[in-house]
Amino acid sequence: MTHCMISAPQPEAVEAGLDIFKAGGNVMDAAIAAAFVQTVVDPQMCGIAGFGSMQIFMPEKDIHSFIDFHGKAPKATKPDMWEHLVERECDDGFGFVLKGQVNEFGYQSMTSPMTLQAFNTALQRHGTMSLDQVLQPAIDYCMNGFAVRPRVLGFWLQPAQAGRIERVAVVNKLDAARKIYLSEDGALLNVGDILKNQDMGRLYQRIASEGIGIFYDGEIADLIAADMKANGGLLTRDDLGDCAPTDLAPLIGNYRGFEVATNQLPGGGLMILEMLNILEHFDLCAMGHNSARYIATVAEAMKYATIDKDQFMGDPNFIDVPQDLLASKARAAEFAAKIRAGEKADIVRLNSGAPESKDTTHLVVADAAGNVVNVTHSLGSSSGVITDGLGFMYNNCMMVFDPRPGHVGSLAPGKARFTAMCPTILSKDGKPFLALGAPGGTTITMGVLQTILNVVDFRMSAQEAVSAPRFCATSNVIELTNRILRGVERDLNQDGYVTRRYAASYITPILHAIRLQDGKLDGGADPAGDGMAAAC
């Protein structure tokens, strides 16, 4: 009998979590151990200086909550400091290209480092093991190394696109990163090469023995603050001292008899509810999975939710978000009527042409009792900055703020920026049925949506649901993976839709899911990643 299951993009993280289960840990112990391993073996996707959203569902303890740990703009941020540098908005509406790329790379590109604080908080509240126990697998991978996987190298080799930097710059441009990620002859490590990060290992050993206080209000904080000051960074020791995750209740909706619990703003859960509300007005199964009519209908729901995101969704501590309106069934019915009438939503962007970097990670852990930990965490697309001797890389989430004052995503000290992260659980009669999430920038919500539809409307298993061909509409272009039939694409084009076909059969977002049905667990790991779902 399956007692537990883990799904994640990294086999090393999955196995670390399974080992924690076998050693007597619970779902939180396993999740935090796996997440720390992710920070080592996917070091540009995530890290202790990152941000994210964690969903915790423990029905026997009557716990269903979120730990939100979105990074905040440093206190030194000025709302208009980059206004004169704007070149264009990313094509998917998630970030801006600036002259000099100061928001994307280097010492001014990072928000506050929240991940370590969030993991420690979650472990203390809901775990049974100590920090040093759950950190040990990550320490072992730091000190002994891990084999570079295809997705790790693939990130480094992403070319420059529409004003964005080549991603390899985050590992080969600054000296502290070069010492870790390049070989002795200066070459980039290749698939199968062993990557050791012993500076990070020694830092993790200190955190394990001394606690996270040294990072946020101790010797490590002093080193970080000094590095920032010496290199023109915005982060200060005060920013580190103020790092604290936020407890939030789930955002609740429903879809075809299932309760849908997802995260609140500044996460992307509101978009999930809005799209499901729209699509509940259609018999999607009768249309046929990935038929032209189905894709057009779902894409229009994606576009309407994207328009609302661009106009209304941001940090609720700084802007008034009409959440009740956006999540209302009445508004969804209006959009559904427009879709049925053949109207096409129009997404308007500023000088668009730059796709956003889609780099994050996810893991979902569940046990047979219905306890679930569902967490998405990220470095954005990584700043390239490593404080010499500490090993970890900082996030570059300042990239996604709007440098123009007066907009929902505009810069402000202490403000968090909207992200599409949306760990989500569907349940019925208080019992979890499907837990899922994904990395992938603004495509996250679109992939999570389609996986929900695949399971609920088309009765797919978790693996089938995350593996099925997908599409995405975060602009007026419908993006298609190469397994969407060309005849379907022709029908979409004849109906007036602009499409973009990818050569790849599997692309981001990289979905991970666990289905809990009739006391059984089945997991799915997206073939687009290196990961797996495994049971114990």
Q: Which residues are catalytic?
A: 360
Q: Annotate 259-320 with three-state secondary structure.
A: EEEECCCCCCHHHHHHHHHHHCCCCHHHHCCCCHHHHHHHHHHHHHHHHHHHHHCCCCCCCC
280 and 453 in contact (C-beta within 8 Å)?
A: no
215 and 153 in contact (C-beta within 8 Å)?
A: no
For 420-474, give the DSSP string: ----EEEEETTEEEEEEE---TTHHHHHHHHHHHHHHTT---HHHHHHS--EE-S
The crossing angle, in degrees rounded to 10, of helices 329-340 and 269-279 is 50
Rounded to whole angstroms, how far apart are CA atoms 55 and 527? 24
* Phi-psi domain of 145 (left: phi exceeds 0; alpha: psi -120 through 50; beta: other): left
Residue with tokens 């007692």: 3
Q: 97 - beta bridge partners?
A: 88
Rounded to whole angstroms, how far apart are CA atoms 86 and 82? 7
479 and 500 in contact (C-beta within 8 Å)?
A: yes
Rounded to whole angstroms, how far apart are CA atoms 425 and 452? 10
156 and 173 in contact (C-beta within 8 Å)?
A: no
Rounded to whole angstroms, how far apart are CA atoms 137 and 139? 5
Order of strands, edge to edge, in the sheet holding 4-8?
Answer: 246-248, 63-69, 51-58, 372-378, 361-367, 4-8, 532-535
Q: Which two tokens stand for residue 16?
A: 């670390």
Any idea what the Cα angle at residue 284 is, between residues 462 and 457, rounded to 5°? 30
